[in-house]
Amino acid sequence: MHIRRDSTCSALMIALCFVLLPWIGSVAADDDRAGDREAMVKEQIITRGVKDPTTLAAMRAVPRHLFVPASLAPRAYQDRPLPIGYGQTISQPAIVAFMTEIINPGPGRKILEIGTGSGYQAAVLAATGAQVYTIEIIPQLAASAAARLKKLGFGDVAVKTADGYYGWPEQAPFDAIIVTAAAEFIPPPLIEQLAEAGLMIIPVGSPYFVQTLMLVQKQNGKVISNNLMPVRFVPFQRAEE
Ligand code: SAH
């Protein structure tokens, strides 16, 4: 019994290393903040109940301090969101990990993110081996995130500047959709672009008030939604007509 469990475990570890080592190798070189990330994972993420090994490995691998303005790099691994310019923020690490775990990313999964911001959430998803498409409405943020992702070895992430309300119809359907700005309602095109059995995580509610993080599932063409927890995100903006 023991031996069997061990061998399953090590097979899993080997499979995980196979998927994650190339990423870890490409992003972790010259990185002196691995200890800070380990502390972040232990103290902020595992303690809040995130268990998925793929998610935890991605949180350990992606150098969050290179996704914030240089002046804030010393605070990059604190338990808080940080400003990234243009009135936007990079989410708290624990929220990124929670949202990542729940959509079950990994090799072979096609994921759409709305709200690229710094590119950090997109990099975490890509580090799981998922194929990532991300949309940002502020052109300057989209451009800097795309350049940063490329430089850090996440050049496979597709970034576009657009109003994410409309999703990315040419690439649909998606196995999962993650929205990182709070919308007043779930944009119907995003539900449309979710694959059968797909999962969407989205904060819903009025800007500047407490919003609800919702998990939306498509099953047999029906949409089932669950409220997960109260959250606060920057507002989902709309392009001017
Ligand atoms: N995921 C980001 C944090 C995002 S903050 C990260 O890891 O850094 C939310 C982002 O959503 C902001 O950059 C904001 O400009 C963007 N946003 C707001 N409304 C949007 C919309 N309709 N379409 C695409 N992006 C949007």
The yes-or-no verdict on residue 66 having pLDDT over 50 is yes
How far, in Å, CA of 89 to CA of 175, rounded?
A: 26
**What distance in angstroms lies between residue 65's CA and the mean position of ligand 1's atoms?**
19
Q: Residue 207's pLDDT is what?
A: 82
Please provide residue 119's backbone torsions phi and psi, each rounded to the nearest 5 degrees. 95, 0
- Torsion, Cα of 154, 202, 107, 15 (10° steps): 100
- In residues, how long is the chain? 241
Closest ligand 1 atom to 238 CA:
22
Ligand 1 contact, 163 CB (< 6 A): yes
SS (H, E, C) 39-87: HHHHHHHHHHCCCCHHHHHHHHHCCHHHCCCHHHHHHCCCCCCEEEECC
Catalytic residue among 26, 91, 118, 206: 91
Residue 61, pLDDT score: 98
Q: Does 52 have pLDDT greater than 50?
A: yes
14, containing H or E segment: helix 2-27
Amino acid at 7: S
Is position 118 annotated as part of the catalytic site? no
Q: What is the mean pLDDT of the chain?
A: 90
* Residue in 125, 80, 74 with CA at minimum distance from that of residue 102: 125
3-state secondary structure of 92: coil
pLDDT class for 30, splitting at 50, 70, 90? low
Answer yes or no: is pLDDT of 20 > 80.
no
Which pLDDT score is estimated for 221? Answer: 83
Q: Is 145 in the pocket of ligand 1 (CB under 6 A)?
A: no
pLDDT at 84: 98
pTM: predicted TM-score of the whole model, two decimal places: 0.89
Residue 230 to residue 228: CA distance in whole angstroms: 7
pLDDT of residue 209: 83
pLDDT of residue 148: 98
CATH architecture, range 10-231 = 3-Layer(aba) Sandwich (3.40)
8, two tokens: 């399953």
Question: 172-191 pLDDT, tens per residue?
Answer: 999 999 999 999 999 999 99
Q: Looking at residues 74-87, what average pLDDT do you find? A: 98
CB 192 within 8 A of CB 173: no
User: Alpha-carbon distance 37 to 59, whole Å?
Assistant: 7
46 has a pLDDT exceeding 90 = yes
Residue 6 — very low, low, confident or very high, per pLDDT cuts 50/70/90?
very low
Task: Report how far residue 54's alpha carbon sits from residue 129's, in angstroms, rounded to the nearest whole number.
Answer: 9
pLDDT at 4 over 90: no
- SS3 call for 66: helix
Q: What is the mean pLDDT of residues 146-154?
A: 98
Nearest to 91 by CA among 115, 60, 57: 115
Lowest average pLDDT, out of 21-35, 135-149, 192-206, goes to: 21-35
Is the Cβ–Cβ distance between 91 and 81 less than 8 Å? yes
Q: Tell me if 166 CB under 6 Å of ligand 1.
A: no
Mutate to test the pocket of ligand 1, among 202, 204, 213, 234 (most ligand atoms within 8 A of CB): 234
